[in-house]
Amino acid sequence: MRTETKLTILAVAMFGFGYALVPLYEVFCEITGLNGKTGTIANTEAVQLEVDKSRLVTVEFDTNVNNELPWSFHVQAHKMKVHPGALNDVVFIIENNSDQPVVAQAVPSVAPAQASLFFNKTECFCFTQQMLAPRERKEMKVRFVVDPGLPKKISTLTLSYTYFMAPGSDKIVQKPDIVDEERI
């Protein structure tokens, strides 16, 4: 093979490998809990878990908003004590402080990272993007369960969310309030 052909094949292979790294990293994080990725579980699976009533785990909640996002974000209860295996609900509140509609996405993480393998959500606003109208306020529930297999040495874990503006959110066009009769 000629040198040019070998270099071309090498360049294409490197591009393909680089392109595949993002989804591979996501899968790696889900499997290992690296980067605080949490799991999801169906309600039917969650209610079948055996509740460990002999143990309490403290779950702390942390809320953050990226500087570019004109939202307020907080949680009703900053921490709660839960029994591993029991379903729990916590309410978060978001508010759009601008005069424009805004779309944003919450990115969750759990600390310590090892605990993320044992923290599962059945319902979460972080599963989808949220659109808020100007000055709109929403209460959103997160339903979660701490797996009874959580190592005994972990007695406190922190669920943190950071909201980021969704790509293209600044290009949302508002619908006109007045119908243009000439176009009808």
Structural domain range at position 73:
37-169
Do residue 60 and residue 118 come from a single domain? yes
Predicted confidence (pLDDT) at residue 33 exceeds the cutoff of 60: no
pLDDT tens for residues 40-88? 555 556 555 788 899 999 999 999 999 999 999 999 999 999 999 999 9
CATH label of the domain that carries residue 116: 2.60.370.10
Do residue 62 and residue 142 come from a single domain? yes
Helix (H) or strand (E) holding 27: helix 3-32
- Number of alpha helices (DSSP H) and beta strands (DSSP E) in the chain: 2, 10
Range among 29-33, 45-49, 104-108, 116-120 with highest mean pLDDT value: 104-108
- Of 134, 61, 129, 67, the C-alpha closest to 97 is 134
Q: Looking at the domain assignment, is residue 182 inside a domain?
A: no
Number of domains the chain contains: 2
Higher pLDDT, 14 or 34: 14
Do residue 81 and residue 154 come from a single domain? yes
pLDDT tens for residues 150-184? 999 999 999 999 999 988 766 554 444 444 444 44
Q: Taking the complete model, does pTM exceed 0.75, yes or no?
A: no
